[in-house]
Amino acid sequence: MSGRDPLPLALARAADRLTEALLDRLTAEGWPRLNRSHLALLDSLPREGSHPAQLARDLDMTRQSMQQLLATLERTGLVRSAPRADDRRSKIVQLTPDGRAVVAAVRRHTRALERDVTRRIGQDGLDALHTALEHLDQG
């Protein structure tokens, strides 16, 4: 036994630390406290918007969970929903200007965190990590 944590635990812990660092940076800038699900939704929402049911499918969530997530983000002013122009019975969800600003902040802080990781493990280490994660993601 090498004394190392099992790989799934080590990966989850590293992902949690990076995500928490990202969320802390956003909160320090004055954005509402978000969570991993909020980040996933904000990142996946196309500029032209999307239907809540499609978002639920894209993020592998139930419609009810998606509705709860959207309600929270609407209360914080990061998304808005409105009737679709071609079908008034159906809604489309879009980022608000604040929502677009949060997405830009997430990307900016993500780049900064990646630079931090690069300082710790070097560019070769980061490249190797990305390659290994891509291989793991392929199954």
Nearest to 93 by CA among 124, 71, 118: 71
Collapsing DSSP to helix, strand or coil, 61 comes out as coil
Contacts (Cβ under 8 Å, ≥6 apart) of 46: none
Share above pLDDT 70 across residues of the chain, in percent, rounded to a whole number: 98
pLDDT, tens digit, for every residue of 33-91? Answer: 999 999 999 999 998 999 999 999 999 999 999 999 999 999 999 999 988 878 777 89
Fill in the amino acid letter for 109. H
Q: How far apart are CA 123 and CA 133, in angstroms?
A: 15
Domains defined along the chain, listed by start: 7-137 (1.10.10.10)
In angstroms, how far is the first alpha carbon of the chain from the final one? Answer: 25
Per the listing, tokens 């980040």 go with 39
Contacts (Cβ under 8 Å, ≥6 apart) of 128: none
Q: How many CA atoms lie within 13 A of 107 on its CB side?
A: 8
Average pLDDT of the segment spanning 106-116: 97
